[in-house]
């Protein structure tokens, strides 16, 4: 995350660039699939073999279908050896029961901040402690002069996880109480990059 100081002239220039960027419910070419409350959310991760998102919270695990936003599996198991926070790995449930999911959240880890379509996200704080999540297309950045038309602000919560799916067709942002999921419009059916393996 990048912070700016008000007395820094270059920082003021960058803040002026950020002030040109619009807010949007969804980036151009994307649609919001769902925004749901998840109390006690700690970690999440995308499948590498199917369009599903695994969400871990203080109340167990949920699997979300990234195409529809539907919850397709749910359990309330207490934390056990199905989650390895030091390795950022969690065993899936339901359609992901045979897969160990790479996770990110309060235990570390991370999702891709770029995809193969030249799109990216950046988290910037012009006025700490408020920070915002920027989405950019065409290999642009919100900190580049003249790039404002290629960028938008899609979230401003205190996020604990955000990033693209491994196939690049889905995007998630999450705080400790809710998450928002987007999918790319008019794109080919996502294909797996590589199956994950058990630790």
| Low-confidence stretches of the chain (pLDDT beneath 70) | 1-8, 187-199
For 83, other C-beta atoms within 10 Å of its C-beta total 19
The per-residue pLDDT for 4 is: 54
Question: Distance from CA of residue 93 to its chain's centroid?
Answer: 20
Asked whether residue 197 is assigned to any structural domain, the reply reads: no
- Residue 54 within a domain: yes
50-69 burial, b for 16+ CB within 10 Å, e for fewer? Answer: bbbbbbbbeebbbbbbbeeb
Question: Structurally, how many domains does the chain consist of?
Answer: 1
3-state secondary structure 140-169: CCCCCCCCHHHEEEEECCCCCEEEECCCCC
Please say whether the beta carbons of 68 and 102 come within 8 A: no
Q: Give the pLDDT confidence score for residue 188 in this predicted structure.
A: 61
Residue 199 counted as domain residue: no
pLDDT at 5: 53
pLDDT at 64: 98
Domain assignment present for residue 193? The answer is no
Q: Is residue 191 part of a domain?
A: no
- Quote the tokens at residue 144: 């580049």
Count of CB atoms within 10 A of residue 4's CB? 18
Task: Tell me, yes or no, whether 196 lies in a domain.
Answer: no
* Selection from 46, 45, 31, 160 nearest residue 106 by Cα: 160
Structural domain contains residue 10: yes
- pLDDT of 197 reads 42
Read off the pTM.
0.88
Within a domain: 135: yes
Residue 9 structural domain: 2-184
């Amino acid at each position: 995350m990048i912070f700016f100081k008000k007395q820094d002239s270059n920082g003021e220039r960058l803040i002026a660039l950020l002030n040109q960027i619009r807010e949007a419910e969804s980036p151009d070419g994307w649609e919001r699939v769902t925004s749901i409350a998840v109390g006690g959310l700690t970690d999440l991760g995308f499948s590498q073999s199917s369009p599903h998102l695994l969400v871990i919270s203080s109340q167990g695990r949920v699997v979300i279908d990234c195409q529809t936003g539907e919850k397709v599996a749910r359990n309330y198991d207490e934390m056990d050896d199905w989650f390895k926070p030091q390795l950022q790995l969690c065993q899936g449930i339901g359609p992901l029961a045979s897969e160990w999911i790479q996770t990110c959240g309060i235990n570390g880890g991370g999702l891709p901040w770029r995809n193969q379509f030249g799109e990216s996200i950046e988290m910037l704080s012009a006025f700490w402690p408020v920070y915002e999540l920027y989405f950019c297309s065409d290999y642009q950045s919100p900190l580049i002069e003249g790039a404002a038309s290629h960028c938008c602000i899609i979230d401003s919560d205190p996020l604990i996880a955000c990033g693209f799916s491994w196939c690049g067709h889905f995007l998630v942002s999450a705080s400790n109480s809710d998450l928002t999921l987007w999918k790319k419009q008019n794109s080919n059916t996502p294909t797996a990059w590589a199956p994950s393996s058990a630790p």
